[in-house]
C-alpha cells in the first residue's frame, strides 16, 4: 500500500508539472491571439493596443479550458518520465508498490483539475469570453466582432404596428448586443414599411437602443440618426437562447438554460452536450493519465523511446479528436448527449486499464 508521504510526493510532482504546462500554454496562447486579433482589427475605427491586449487576455481562460486534456496528458507523461530517469519508480516498484497505487496520485491531480475546470474555472472562462466579445463589438465593422454563433439567426417579433424582422452580423453580451444590426419593419397590410440599419443595437428595458442608425424607405433618401429606439416584444431569455453559445454559459447555469430552451420549444441538445461534457471532464482527464501511463512507465536505461512517447501523444490527440467529433454529433442531436459525453471517457479508460492489466502483475 502506498504511504501518505509517497502519495503526496507524487501528487505534488504532477501538480507542479501541470502548473508549468498551463503557464507555458497561457503565455503562448496570449501572444498568438494578440497577434491575430491585432491583424484583424488594427485598421478598424476604435482600435487601441490596450483594448486589444485586454481582449486577448480575456480569451486566454477559454483557450486553456480547451487545452486542459492535453495539459494533463503531457504533464503525466513528463512526470512519469522524470520519475523513471531518477530511478524513483524503480525504487517504488521494488518496495512493493504497484502501478495502480503510484498512478493514484496522478489520477487524483487529474480529477482535481477536472473538477475545478468544470466548475469555477469554467465560470471564469465564460465570463471572460463574453467580455472579450463585448470589446470586439466596440470596433466598427462586422469583421472585427466574431459572432457567438457561426450563423446568427433572424428573429421575428410582432408588435401593434405589425411585424419586425431582426438580424445581425454578430452578437455579444449573450445576444443583448447586436453588431451591424438590421431591422425590417412590416406593416399590418403585409407591406414593408422601412428598413433600419445600425452599427450597434442594445436591448434594454424592452427596447432596442440603436447607435448610428440609418432608415431606408422606398422612394425616399436614407435618413441617418445618431440614436434610435425600436420596441421589442421578445422575451430576453428567448433572445439569449437563440443567440448564445453553450461555451458562454457557466456550468451551474446550464440546467436552467436546458429547461428554458425546452420551454420555448427549442432544441436543448447543445446545452445538454456542454453540461455532460463538463460533468465528464474529471473522468476524461483521469483517462488521459492512464493513456500517458501506457507509454511512460516502462523503465529505459537510456531514456524513453521517442517512438513510444510519440505514440502516446498520437493516442491522446486521436482521443481528443474523437471526443470533439462525438460532441458535435451530440450537439446536433444525432447522438444522445449523455452517450456522446461519456463514450470517449470509456474508450480511453478501457484502453489504459487493459494495458495496465496486461503489463502489470499487481
Last residue of a domain, one of 209, 244, 279: 244
Residue 326 in domain = yes
Give the whole-number percent of the chain exceeding pLDDT 70: 92
Same domain, yes or no: 232 and 309? no
Cell of 353: 486499464
- 28 beta partners: none
Q: What is the mean pLDDT of residues 5-18?
A: 93
CB neighbours of 5 closer than 8 A, spacing ≥ 6? none
For the chain, what is the largest distance between any 2 Cα atoms, rounded to a whole number of angstroms? 90
Same domain, yes or no: 123 and 200? no
| Residue pair 125/62 in contact by the 8 Å Cβ criterion | yes
Same domain, yes or no: 163 and 311? no
Last residue of a domain, one of 196, 212, 244: 244
Same domain, yes or no: 165 and 90? no
Q: What is the mean pLDDT of residues 116-122?
A: 92
Closest among 254, 274, 257 to 331, alpha carbons compared: 274
Same domain, yes or no: 128 and 160? no
Last residue of a domain, one of 244, 277, 308: 244
pLDDT at 225: 92
Residue 289 in domain = yes
Q: What is the pLDDT of residues 60-79, one digit of tens each?
A: 999 999 899 999 999 998 89
| Residue pair 113/68 in contact by the 8 Å Cβ criterion | yes
Residue 254 in domain = no
Tell me which range, 87-101, 143-157, 222-236, is most confidently predicted by mean pLDDT.
222-236
Residue 257 in domain = no
Q: Confidence band (pLDDT; 50, 70, 90) for 59? A: very high
Same domain, yes or no: 105 and 177? no
> What global pTM score does this model have?
0.80
pLDDT at 141: 47
Residue 140 in domain = no
Same domain, yes or no: 103 and 162? no
pLDDT at 144: 41
If one counts the domains in the chain, the total is: 2
Residue 90 in domain = yes
Same domain, yes or no: 328 and 229? no
Per DSSP, the residues of 189-257 read: TS-EEEEEEEEEEEEETTEEEEEEEEEE-TTS--EEEEEEEEE--S-HHHHHHHH--GGGS-GGGHHHH
Domain hosting 239: range is 149-244
Give the whole-number percent of the chain exceeding pLDDT 90: 34
Same domain, yes or no: 15 and 85? yes
Same domain, yes or no: 62 and 131? yes
pLDDT at 304: 55
CB neighbours of 334 closer than 8 A, spacing ≥ 6? none
Residue 174 in domain = yes
Same domain, yes or no: 161 and 124? no
Q: CATH code at 229? A: 2.30.30
Residue 142 in domain = no
- 186 beta partners: 163, 192
Same domain, yes or no: 129 and 162? no
Amino acid at each position: 500500500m502506498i504511504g501518505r508521504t509517497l502519495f503526496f510526493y507524487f501528487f505534488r510532482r504532477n501538480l507542479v508539472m501541470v502548473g508549468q504546462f498551463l503557464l507555458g500554454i497561457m503565455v503562448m496562447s496570449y501572444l498568438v491571439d494578440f497577434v491575430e486579433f491585432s491583424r484583424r482589427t488594427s485598421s478598424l475605427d476604435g482600435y487601441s493596443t490596450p483594448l486589444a491586449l485586454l481582449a486577448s487576455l480575456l480569451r486566454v481562460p477559454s483557450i486553456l479550458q480547451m487545452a486542459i486534456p492535453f495539459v494533463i496528458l503531457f504533464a503525466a507523461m513528463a512526470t512519469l518520465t522524470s520519475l523513471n530517469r531518477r530511478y524513483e519508480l524503480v525504487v517504488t516498484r521494488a518496495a512493493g508498490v504497484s502501478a495502480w497505487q503510484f498512478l493514484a496520485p496522478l489520477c487524483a491531480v487529474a480529477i482535481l483539475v477536472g473538477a475545478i475546470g468544470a466548475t469555477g474555472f469554467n465560470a471564469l472562462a465564460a465570463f471572460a469570453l463574453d467580455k472579450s466579445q463585448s470589446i470586439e463589438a466596440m470596433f466598427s465593422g462586422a469583421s472585427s466582432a466574431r459572432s457567438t454563433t457561426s450563423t446568427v439567426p433572424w428573429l421575428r417579433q410582432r408588435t401593434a404596428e405589425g411585424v419586425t424582422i431582426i438580424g445581425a452580423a454578430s452578437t455579444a453580451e449573450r445576444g443583448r448586443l447586436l453588431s451591424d444590426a438590421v431591422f425590417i419593419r412590416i406593416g399590418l397590410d403585409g407591406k414593408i414599411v422601412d428598413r433600419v440599419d445600425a452599427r450597434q443595437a442594445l436591448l434594454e428595458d424592452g427596447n432596442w437602443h440603436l447607435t448610428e442608425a440609418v432608415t431606408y424607405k422606398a422612394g425616399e433618401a436614407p435618413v441617418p440618426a445618431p440614436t434610435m429606439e425600436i420596441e421589442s416584444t421578445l422575451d430576453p431569455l428567448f433572445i439569449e437562447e437563440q443567440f448564445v453559445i453553450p461555451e458562454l454559459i457557466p456550468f451551474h447555469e446550464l440546467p436552467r438554460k436546458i429547461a428554458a430552451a425546452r420551454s420555448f420549444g427549442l432544441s436543448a441538445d447543445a446545452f445538454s452536450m456542454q453540461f455532460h461534457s463538463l460533468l465528464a471532464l474529471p473522468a476524461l482527464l483521469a483517462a488521459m493519465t492512464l493513456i500517458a501511463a501506457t507509454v511512460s512507465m516502462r523503465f529505459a536505461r537510456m531514456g524513453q523511446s521517442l517512438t513510444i512517447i510519440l505514440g502516446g501523444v498520437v493516442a491522446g490527440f486521436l482521443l481528443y479528436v474523437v471526443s470533439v467529433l462525438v460532441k458535435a454529433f451530440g450537439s446536433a442531436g444525432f447522438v444522445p448527449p449523455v452517450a456522446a459525453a461519456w463514450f470517449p471517457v470509456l474508450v480511453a479508460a478501457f484502453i489504459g486499464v487493459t494495458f495496465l492489466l496486461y503489463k502489470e502483475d499487481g
